[in-house]
């Protein structure tokens, strides 16, 4: 192998591929990045049997070839090498020599025959806009679980119809739902569901966020979701199982609503969180003219605050409801809007956060209240 390429696109490609490297590889070769030079292109790839990431870089290839090198080390090198000099890569026996200006690295290579075959997605099932995909995944990932004891709750579920992909995530204490439009290669009137690890899907969507079109290959019998942009291709293995059915969760019989400024409310919740000890809530007291917040206890530090609100108390009586401040703040910021609507059924039923202006494709964030003793 012998080639020359530009530093910036090489560094970006290595960084993106390195996202698929396992934190604790079961075998040494899975900690490697695979470099394959062909006519005019350097393909940079990583694979851990669950996730693969492949990136293409334009290159002046003198000699074609394929090598494996330490992925973390190569990522560190390409991130720290500076300047506008091109990068030369040349295989010298069992070592790869990387040169850029006066900087030169010699890297050990790993045995290619021990590296697994990279997955190749089948024909695309359809396309979706990269920015919309990235935003939707980022929003719903807020509600995904982090407890490995319940693996399915660490995933994001995608429900795909002929015109919409609806992403959903939950950790049992909140539920996030976000639909986006997509264009299938062939409409067939069916609905497909798949659940992908939230962390991996969020990384993939971030990599493809600037692509106008992302080609999706939906999981079939092989259980792999494929995502391909202009220069990046990723595969993610689907999880076994599905999230709890959410269709009956979303309340409609609200007794109170409040339209609130996002920045003002977020700042107030952050102030309350300073005195809300672990497991203790922030209390929201909704009247016909304002939203009052409180946190803490009489025996310890406490705080009170108030924000302006446009309220509608359908029962005419004030409503008090309590939430985990972190979960509440997650929902407020995930909605990505200037004003939100808090919709309340009663103090012990899940409440709903949505944009104040109706939008059928916006994020919907359902949050469980904390029951107050006494």
Question: Residue range 326-344: average pLDDT?
Answer: 96
Q: What is the mean pLDDT of residues 322-345?
A: 96
Three-class DSSP labels, 52-102: EEEEEEECEEEECEEEEEEHHHHHHHHHHCCCCCCEEEEEECCEEEEEECC
Phi–psi pair at 4, nearest 5 degrees: -135, 140
User: Whole-angstrom Cα distance, residue 17 to residue 75?
Assistant: 9
DSSP H or E segment with residue 21 = none
- Judge whether residue 121 has pLDDT over 80: no
Q: Which class in CATH covers the domain with range 256-367? A: alpha beta
- Which range, of 13-22, 34-43, 119-128, 169-178, averages the lowest pLDDT? 119-128
Q: How do the residues of the chain divide into helix, strand and coil, expressed in percent and rounded to 5?
A: 20, 40, 40
Q: What is the pTM of this model?
A: 0.92
Surface-to-core class of residue 323, CB atoms within 10 Å of its CB (0-12 exposed, 13-18 middle, 19+ buried): buried
| pLDDT, mean over the chain | 93
pLDDT of residue 221: 56
Biggest CA-to-CA distance, the chain: 81
Q: Which CATH superfamily is domain 2-114 in?
A: DNA Polymerase III, subunit A, domain 2 (3.10.150.10)
The CA distance from 223 to 59, in Å, is: 33
Q: Is the dihedral of CA 48, 49, 53, 56 positive or negative?
A: positive
> Exposed, middle or buried: residue 196 (CB in 10 Å: 0-12, 13-18, 19+)?
buried
Task: Enumerate residues 6+ apart whose C-beta is below 8 A from 149.
Answer: none
Residue 142 to residue 305: CA distance in whole angstroms: 26
Residue 288 has pLDDT above 90, yes or no: no
Count CA atoms closer than 13 A to 247's CA, side-chain side.
Answer: 2
Averaged pLDDT, 297-305: 86
- What pLDDT score does 372 carry? 72
**Domain pair 2-114 / 256-367, same fold:** yes
Sheet holding 351-355, edge to edge: 192-197, 155-160, 164-170, 174-181, 364-367, 351-355, 339-344, 256-261, 310-313
Asked if residues 169 and 154 have their Cβ atoms less than 8 Å apart, the reply is no
| Cα–Cα distance, 87 to 83 (Å, whole number) | 10
Q: 176-233, pLDDT tens digit by residue?
A: 999 999 999 998 888 999 999 999 999 999 999 999 999 999 886 568 999 999 999 9
**Among 94, 90, 85, 107, residue whose Cα is nearest residue 42:** 90
Q: pLDDT for 233-242, tens place per residue?
A: 999 999 998 8
Rounded to an integer, what distance in angstroms lies between the CA atom of residue 357 and that of residue 341? 8
> Could you tell me the two tokens for 264?
């003002």
Residue 373 is predicted with a pLDDT of 60
Q: Would you list the domain boundaries of the chain?
A: 2-114, 126-237, 256-367
pLDDT at 297 over 60: yes
pLDDT digits (tens, 9 = 90+) for 76-88: 999 999 999 999 9
List of residues 6+ apart from 222 with CB closer than 8 A: none
What pLDDT digit, counting tens, does each position of 98-109 carry? 999 999 999 999
Backbone angles phi, psi at 256, to 5 degrees: -155, 145
For residue 69, what are its two tokens?
């090198």
Domain 126-237 falls in which CATH fold?
A: DNA Polymerase III; Chain A, domain 2 (3.10.150)
């Amino acid at each position: 192998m012998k080639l020359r390429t530009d530093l910036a696109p090489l560094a970006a490609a290595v960084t993106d591929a390195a996202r698929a490297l396992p934190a604790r590889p079961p075998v040494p070769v899975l900690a490697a990045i695979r470099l394959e030079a062909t006519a005019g292109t350097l393909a940079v790839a990583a694979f851990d049997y669950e996730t693969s990431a492949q990136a293409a870089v334009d290159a002046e290839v003198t000699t074609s070839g394929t090598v494996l090198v330490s992925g973390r080390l190569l990522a560190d090198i390409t991130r720290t090498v500076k300047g506008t000099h091109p990068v030369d890569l040349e295989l010298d026996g069992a070592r790869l020599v990387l040169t850029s200006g006066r900087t030169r690295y010699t890297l050990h290579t790993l045995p290619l025959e021990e590296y697994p075959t990279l997955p190749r997605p089948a024909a695309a099932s359809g396309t979706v806009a990269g920015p919309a995909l990235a935003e939707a995944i980022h929003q719903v990932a807020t509600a995904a679980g982090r407890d490995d004891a319940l693996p399915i709750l660490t995933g994001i579920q995608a429900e795909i119809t002929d015109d919409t992909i609806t992403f959903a995530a939950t950790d049992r204490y909140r539920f996030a739902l976000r639909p986006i439009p997509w264009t299938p290669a062939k409409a067939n009137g069916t609905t497909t569901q798949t659940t992908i690890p939230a962390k991996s899907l969020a990384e993939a969507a971030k990599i493809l966020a600037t692509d106008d079109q992302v080609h999706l290959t939906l999981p079939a019998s092989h259980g792999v979701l494929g995502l391909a942009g202009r220069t990046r291709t990723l595969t993610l293995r689907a999880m076994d199982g599905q999230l709890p059915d959410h269709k009956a969760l979303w309340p409609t019989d609200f007794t109170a609503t409040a339209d609130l400024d996002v920045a003002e409310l977020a700042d107030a919740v952050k102030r309350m969180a300073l005195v809300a000890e672990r497991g203790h809530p922030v209390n929201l007291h909704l009247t016909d003219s304002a939203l009052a917040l409180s946190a803490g206890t009489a025996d310890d530090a406490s705080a009170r605050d108030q924000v302006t609100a446009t309220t509608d108390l359908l029962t005419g009586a004030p409503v008090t409801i309590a939430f985990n401040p972190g979960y509440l703040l997650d929902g407020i910021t995930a909605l990505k809007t200037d004003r939100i609507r808090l919709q309340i059924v009663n103090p012990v039923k899940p409440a709903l956060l949505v944009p104040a202006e109706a939008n059928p494709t916006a994020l919907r964030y359902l949050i469980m209240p904390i029951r107050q003793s006494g």
